[in-house]
Amino acid sequence: MNSEFSAVPITKHVYWVGAIDWNIRDFHGYATSRGTTYNAYLIMDKKITLIDTVKRPFFPEMLARIRSVVDPARIDIIVSNHAEMDHSGSLPEAIELIKPEQVFASSMGTVALQDHFHWKTKVLSVKDQEKISLGELELQFFETRMLHWPDSMFTWIAREKLLFSQDAFGMHLASARRFADELPGNILVEEGANTSPTSCCRTRP
Ligand SMILES: [Fe+2]
Ligand SMILES: [Fe+2]
């Protein structure tokens, strides 16, 4: 397999399995001169979990990255932190392929996803601060309405000190690098100032 499409380890249990959009130059109104990144994460625990998906045309790329770690059919849970299509565009295909036990979103996210997809698929609403156990790790959900849409929520793994923050602290940037400290500071400052939220970049744990 092309190593370009491998998962990137973030912690012992968590891998980045998103996609890089090198060519996009207009992200619904935002100039994206350096492209953008769609972030999805795989958590390997007793309950294998996928956090978010990617824009629909990039579904095969996400799948290839997941397959570099695990057969996608073994995923038990999908969490949707944000209903916009750069996070949820592949959710119908992912659900169809994976047939997860459970799909979770915020209460507003559940409504937004049903509106987008007219699903019969049941998406379970999680409450603010609700926790679920994956085995060794525990996920905790936080409603973050208007950070940056009404449906937005964060997922937090306290033990790994890892926050899946959807678009709240992001920027538009395509890069082969996954960690902020691998990138020139001036690019981070420039893109952080330029763009309203989308995905990408955290400092290395
Ligand atoms: Fe968004
Ligand atoms: Fe986004």
Q: Is residue 205 part of a domain?
A: no
Judge residue 108's burial from the number of C-beta atoms within 10 Å of its C-beta, 0-12 exposed, 13-18 middle, 19 or more buried.
Answer: middle
Mean pLDDT of 166-180: 92
User: 180-193 pLDDT, tens per residue?
Assistant: 999 999 999 999 88
Gap from CA of 170 to ligand 2 centroid (Å): 8
Q: Is residue 203 part of a domain?
A: no
Mean pLDDT of 85-100: 95
Mean pLDDT of 86-111: 96
Q: Is residue 26 part of a domain?
A: yes
- CATH number of 149's domain: 3.60.15.10
Gap from CA of 121 to ligand 1 centroid (Å): 22
User: 104-156 pLDDT, tens per residue?
Assistant: 999 999 999 988 887 777 899 999 999 999 999 999 999 999 998 999 999 99
Q: Is residue 201 part of a domain?
A: no
Gap from CA of 136 to ligand 1 centroid (Å): 30
Ligand nearest to the CA of 148: 1
- In contact, 197 and 169? CB cutoff 8 Å: yes
* pLDDT for 200 beyond 50: no
* Residue 3: pLDDT band with limits 50, 70, 90: low
Gap from CA of 37 to ligand 1 centroid (Å): 12
Q: Is the dihedral of CA 30, 66, 9, 14 positive or negative?
A: positive
Q: Is residue 202 part of a domain?
A: no
Ligand nearest to the CA of 32: 2
CB under 8 A, 24+ apart: contacts of 184-190: 187/34
Gap from CA of 147 to ligand 1 centroid (Å): 9
- In contact, 17 and 180? CB cutoff 8 Å: no
Q: Is residue 16 part of a domain?
A: yes
Reduced to 3 states (helix: H, G, I; strand: E, B; else coil), residue 87 is helix
Q: Is residue 204 part of a domain?
A: no
pTM of the model: 0.92
Ligand nearest to the CA of 147: 1
> What's the total number of domains in the chain?
1
Mean pLDDT of 72-100: 96
Gap from CA of 154 to ligand 1 centroid (Å): 13
**pLDDT for the residue numbered 115:** 87
* Residue 195: pLDDT band with limits 50, 70, 90: low
**pLDDT for the residue numbered 201:** 37
Gap from CA of 88 to ligand 1 centroid (Å): 10
Q: Which residues surround ligand 2, an ion (CB under 5 A)?
A: 86, 167, 198
Mean pLDDT of 58-64: 98
Gap from CA of 110 to ligand 1 centroid (Å): 15
* pLDDT for 198 beyond 60: no
Domain limits for position 106: 3-194
**pLDDT for the residue numbered 118:** 79
User: 9-58 pLDDT, tens per residue?
Assistant: 999 999 999 999 999 999 988 889 999 999 999 999 999 999 999 999 99
Q: Is residue 199 part of a domain?
A: no
* Residue 205: pLDDT band with limits 50, 70, 90: very low
